[in-house]
Amino acid sequence: METAPASALSAQPLADADDDGEGTLTKLHPNYAHALRVRTTLMAVPFLIGALVLELVVRDEGVIAQGIIAGPVLLIAILLILRIPARRYGARGYQMSADRLRVVRGILFRSDTVVPFGRVQHIDVDQGPLERFFGIATLTLHTAGNHNASVALPGLGEDLAREMRETIRAHIRRETL
Amino acid sequence: MSEPQRTAPVSVVLGALASVQSAVIGALAIGFSGIGGSGRIWIALGTLVAATVIGAGVAYVKWRRLTYTIGEADIRVESGILSRAARSIPYERIQDVSLEAKPLPRLFGLVAVKFETGAGGGEDLALEYLTTKQGEALRRLVRERRDDTSETAPGLAAPAAARPEDEDGEVLYALTPRRLLTFGLFEFSLAVFAVLGGLLQYVDNISSVDIWDVDLWRRWLAEQGETVATIGPMAQALGALAGLVGLVLIGVVTGVARTFLRDWGFTLTRSPRGFRRQRGLLTRTDVVMPAHRVQGLVIGTGILRHRFGWHSLSFVSLAQDSENESHVVAPFARMDEIARIAGAAGFCLPDAATRWQRASKRHRTDLAVRDAAAFVLLAIPAAIFAPLGLFLIPLGAAVIAVGVNLYAWEFRRHAIDAAHVYASHGYLSPRQEVATRLKLHSVEIAQGPLARWRGYATVHLGLAGGTFAMHGVPLPEARALRRAVIETIAATDYSRLDAPLTDERDQALSAAQPGLSANRLAT
């Protein structure tokens, strides 16, 4: 039962420094990077509008050259949209084994969490509109601990997320019976 | 199936009294204000009577409409005058049942029965009020049903009161008045001034004396100041000293009084089913905690009492005291007493055999540098703008910060053994945390940018009802620690965790190890 999800993964082991004797991490669905990019773009839009409005107001005064406000904002936004999603995608990964799930995330602040299936209280599979468009889903494991009360793993392929949920559920049922 | 029952009828009187209490202030305000001229006394009295009648009526209807049913699998409460609410709590989900007797209900021999399930902090269900006897019978019943639900469903009709009284177990810990006094002396508190401030504000509201009038105070100060100026420097110094002594005295008295009110008659008993704690002078509370629900221990102390060898012990569990604090089971005890209570809960305290691991030295260095750097940065503008020599103060503070960090490192340590994890930190008042490996829920290794560069990490362990973290653990060690803990956790499913500890208290712990290999075979 445990081998089922492993075969369904587009198993691309991370080749970088994350291989630390703890086993190799599995990358998330490539569409997750696209979804992150769209989200970053959406977040940048209000700032761009704000900069443009400011630009218009200041232009009437005629003190400074055109584009001196909106230009840099646009540049920063483009840089963020190009760089950050790719890096975040690269920093994330997970590792599913017989009785536990390991979730790794964070560019600057790394977090590396292991949740044993035996401690999972309930499991969510969520899809926002953006995630549905890209065919990905977020798998969330809830535990009874105060810290890490819920561990979310976004950016899984839709089917894979459901498959993982079934695997974890089957494990819980087997343990309980 | 038992019939729906009502709470004690005297609750109606208490409900009415509560509404009178809130009406008195309003009536007083009317009485002393200018409303209604000479007839205002009658208006005030009328208000009071109306409030009493309405309050009693509402209390009566509320009492009529509130019923509780002790079912086979759950306890159900139906309440509400216009909109009805029915709540059901399954016995297995009840973390603890506490009886609370506030001063007024105590006069009538009544208690409030509170059931906690650990959902969202506060109590989830309270029955106000039952007679003390009823309350205790109900608690015993709930406990027995909870333990029985899985095994023996029939035979529930037998009244619980017929069972032998099992609550009078062995007394583990009790506070004598003498020790309570010592405890109170360490609980120095100036909270009384906050209360006085509040009272002044109140006086300001209902009287014509405007206490925020600066001129009034200035006049008063000037008068007093003249008197003070005439009595000479010696007397002035004496006066200041007397003021200081008075302040300390007030603080000590407040502390003692608060401690007596809260912890009078503190008794912790161990019965076969769990721990029972009774405390309180005016408001008496009586909490029973099942032993197997205890997730971890916290041993705390204070800066001063630590020097005299006094510590406190709390149980971490899903159920909590008010203000979301863990259950205090020994507020003021010697280490050997704490060890005995911990042993009764199935925990062993770290001893000489515990292999303590210190935090990474790099972590120590980084903390020292970080704290010192803040002061050094402060010293730069001071050197430029402030009078000569003043910049030495932040520089001195930087040196102290380094020293404090080096010293604090000695106290930041963690350990792991076959059944438990330990963590300890704090240099002025060290705090120790103990958790059962088996009862952890997740393990996270967290690293900030600096920690990644320097190769250490913070290990967060998921603990139900509390937090548990080890700071500055070298990365390879953190990984080894996680591997060890996860092996223990994964071996036993959550549903088997809460199996009550049977005769041997350590059985659940030793069971983890064979379970491990069995689990491997299964997968």
CATH number reported for the structural domain that contains residue B111 in this entry: 2.30.29
For residue B267, is it within any domain?
A: no
CA B425 to chain centre: 20
- Asked if the model's pLDDT at residue A19 lies above 50, the reply is no
| Residues in A touching B445 (Cβ below 8 Å) | 110-113
Q: Which of B84-88, B393-397, B496-500 has the lowest mean pLDDT?
A: B496-500
CA atoms of B362 and A65, how far apart (whole Å):
50
Whether residue B366 is found in the same domain as residue B351: no
| Residues in B touching A2 (Cβ below 8 Å) | 523
- Asked if the model's pLDDT at residue A2 lies above 60, the reply is no
* Contact call for residues A151 and A141 (beta carbons, < 8 A): yes
CA atoms of B220 and A65, how far apart (whole Å):
64
The domain locations on chain A are 3-28+93-176, 33-86
pLDDT for res B510: 39
DSSP B3: P
Higher pLDDT, residue B233 or B260: B260
Model confidence band, residue A38 (pLDDT cutoffs 50, 70, 90):
very high
Whether residue B101 is found in the same domain as residue B244: no
Contact B466 A110 (CB under 8 A): no
Higher pLDDT, residue A72 or B118: A72
Whether residue B336 is found in the same domain as residue B421: yes
B430-441 as b/e: b if 16+ CB within 10 A: bebbbbbbbbbb
For residue B272, is it within any domain?
A: no
Suggest the residue from B295, B318, B436, B493 to mutate for an interface test with chain A (most A CBs closer than 10 A): B493
Contact B442 A172 (CB under 8 A): no
Which phi and psi angles does B268 have, rounded to 5°? -120, 120
Whether residue B304 is found in the same domain as residue B446: yes
| Percent of chain A topping pLDDT 90 | 41
Interface of B with A (CB under 8 A): 318, 440-449, 452, 460-469, 479, 482, 486, 489-496, 519, 522-523
Whether residue B374 is found in the same domain as residue B498: no
Q: Which of B34-48, B81-95, B335-349 has the highest mean pLDDT?
A: B335-349
User: pLDDT averaged over chain B?
Assistant: 79
B279 bridge partner residues:
B285
Whether residue B306 is found in the same domain as residue B387: no
Chain A residue at shortest CA distance from B476 = A20
Out of B381, B409, B437, pick the residue that ends a domain.
Answer: B409
Contact A112 B493 (CB under 8 A): no
Whether residue B443 is found in the same domain as residue B323: yes
Whether residue B344 is found in the same domain as residue B246: no
Model confidence band, residue A34 (pLDDT cutoffs 50, 70, 90):
very high
Token couple for B211: 């206490």
Tell me the per-residue pLDDT of A167-176, one tens digit each, with 9 for 90 and over. 988 887 766 5
Q: Which of A122-126, B118-122, B387-391, B511-515 has the lowest mean pLDDT?
A: B511-515
Quote the number of domains for chain B.
Answer: 4
Whether residue B137 is found in the same domain as residue B16: yes
Q: pTM above 0.80?
A: no
For domain A3-28+93-176, give its CATH number from 3.90.1580, 2.40.160, 2.30.29, 2.60.40.
2.30.29
Model confidence band, residue A61 (pLDDT cutoffs 50, 70, 90):
confident
Tell me the per-residue pLDDT of B177-220, one tens digit each, with 9 for 90 and over. 899 999 988 888 777 777 777 777 766 666 555 656 667 667 77
Residue-number span of the structural domain to which B250 is assigned: 191-262
Tell me the per-residue pLDDT of B360-382, one tens digit each, with 9 for 90 and over. 889 999 999 998 998 888 888 88
Chain A residue at shortest CA distance from B469 = A147
- Asked if the model's pLDDT at residue A6 lies above 80, the reply is no
Average pLDDT over every residue of B488-509 = 56
| Pairs across A and B, CB distance < 8 A | 103
Whether residue B336 is found in the same domain as residue B367: no
- Beta-strand (E) ranges in B306-354? 311-316, 327-333
Distance from CA of B472 to the nearest CA of A (A): 14
Higher pLDDT, residue B79 or B402: B402
